[in-house]
Amino acid sequence: MQKDSIITQIYERIKKQGHDEVYIVSDFLDLGEYHAVRKALLRLEESGKIKKIIRGVYYYPRYSALIDEYEAPSPSGVAETLARKYNWTIAPCGDTALNQLGLSTQVPAKWSYISDGPYHEFQIGSITIEFKHRSNKEVSKISRQTATIIQALKSIGKEHITDRHLNIIKKHLTADEKVNILNEAKQSSVWIYNIMKKICEREKEQSLCIA
């Protein structure tokens, strides 16, 4: 009876949160102990209500009439959940960072992230998700937002950054966020910090006036 109750509660929560989330056992430990939750997720997967991505990682699939099959899980959602599962701090890098900041509309062939965990690569159907180990100062000691912008700038390259790139980044940032990323970017390389100053120019002037 208790087992059925856990299964029902987990499934009801999954349905309420929708199709865009990816789940692991620890997401439901408030509903029961570890082994009971793990078995409940396996039962839901066996009944076809959820799908397994890799061992211990699940999603609630959305059926697409257009392609006449269930849609694949979001690569970014899978990456975030894997980071949560292994207790890694991550941030997008390379083409993934460019895509997430709107600097590129091209869908990455490989979804790449920097991480304070070990190097690891996961093959999820036709999707590859890669985690590259980096030092704490590049990922753990700064905000996700700052880390993503830094990685995007590195991907573009010092000699290829244009005003268009800077304007796209600027429009996604509030004044407070600009102040924060400028402060956090002080530990990055000189050329990165100089670019960050251009992105945050007005906020930098205002902060100096206040000081």
Q: What is the pLDDT of residue 144?
A: 94
What is the spatial distance between Cα 84 and Cα 23, in angstroms, rounded to a whole number?
Answer: 10
40 and 3 in contact (C-beta within 8 Å)?
Answer: yes
| Alpha-carbon radius of gyration of the chain | 20
* DSSP secondary structure letters along the chain: -HHHHHHHHHHHHHHHH-TT-EE-GGGGTTTS-HHHHHHHHHHHHHTTSSEEEETTEEE-PPEETTTTEEPPPPHHHHHHHHHHHHT--EEE-HHHHHHHTTS--SPPSEEEEEESS--EEEEETTEEEEEEE--HHHHTSS-HHHHHHHHHHHHH-GGG--HHHHHHHHHT--HHHHHHHHHHGGGS-HHHHHHHHHHTHHHHHHHHHH-
58 and 52 in contact (C-beta within 8 Å)?
Answer: yes
Low-confidence ranges of the chain (pLDDT < 50): 1, 205-206, 208-211
| In CATH, 2-70 is 1.10.10.10 | yes
Q: What is the pLDDT of residue 202?
A: 63
Edge-to-edge order in the sheet of strand 127-133: 90-92, 110-115, 127-133, 120-124
Going by C-alpha positions, the residue among 205, 206, 202, 186 that lies closest to residue 194 is 186
What are the residue ranges spanned by the domains of the chain? 2-70, 86-210
Paired strand residues for 32: none
Q: What is the pLDDT of residue 64?
A: 81
Q: What is the pLDDT of residue 115?
A: 97
Question: What pLDDT, in 10s, does the model give residues 151-202?
Answer: 999 999 999 999 999 999 999 899 999 999 999 999 899 999 999 999 988 6
**pTM score, whole prediction:** 0.87
